[in-house]
Amino acid sequence: MSRAYHVHLSIYPLGTAEVPKALAAIRTAWIAPAWVRQREIAGAHFLEAMAEAPFRAGETETLFVERLSIAIWKRLGRYVKVVVEAGHENTPEFRHLELEEPDYLKLMRLH
């Protein structure tokens, strides 16, 4: 049985109409977040979401972040910064993973 992960996800910048699209991409690629917060910063939306669930069998934190980010970018049709804090259940250590525009360019060429 796969171990569950605690995941805190941040996505920025988003337009108003992109917030539900980003959430739909997260639900399709992984799971519906248990907690979601959206706020406006400097005219753009900042989306945070948290969930606890297993990743796919054999999937590392890095592969998870890449897969989730690709789903978000494809749904939006553009780059947005994706930041993930992820850790196994009952473990105090979390990995901080960020994907920047060079990662977007590389990954979208491959997918």
Domains for the chain: give ranges and CATH numbers.
4-19+31-110 (3.30.70)
Residue 2's pLDDT band (boundaries 50, 70, 90)? low
Rounded (5°) CA angle 109-21-38:
115
Strand partners, 40: 45
Number of Cβ within 10 Å of residue 109's Cβ equals 7
pLDDT in tens, 54-106: 888 888 889 999 999 999 999 999 999 999 999 887 777 888 999 999 999 99
Residues in the chain: 111
pLDDT in tens, 39-51: 999 999 999 999 9
Pure H helices in the chain: 18-29, 61-76, 101-110
pLDDT in tens, 100-110: 999 999 999 99
This prediction has a pTM of 0.92
Q: Max CA-CA distance within the chain?
A: 43
In angstroms, the CA 104 to CA 82 distance is 10
In angstroms, the CA 25 to CA 105 distance is 19
Q: Is the predicted pLDDT of residue 1 greater than 80, yes or no?
A: no
Residue 37's pLDDT band (boundaries 50, 70, 90)? very high
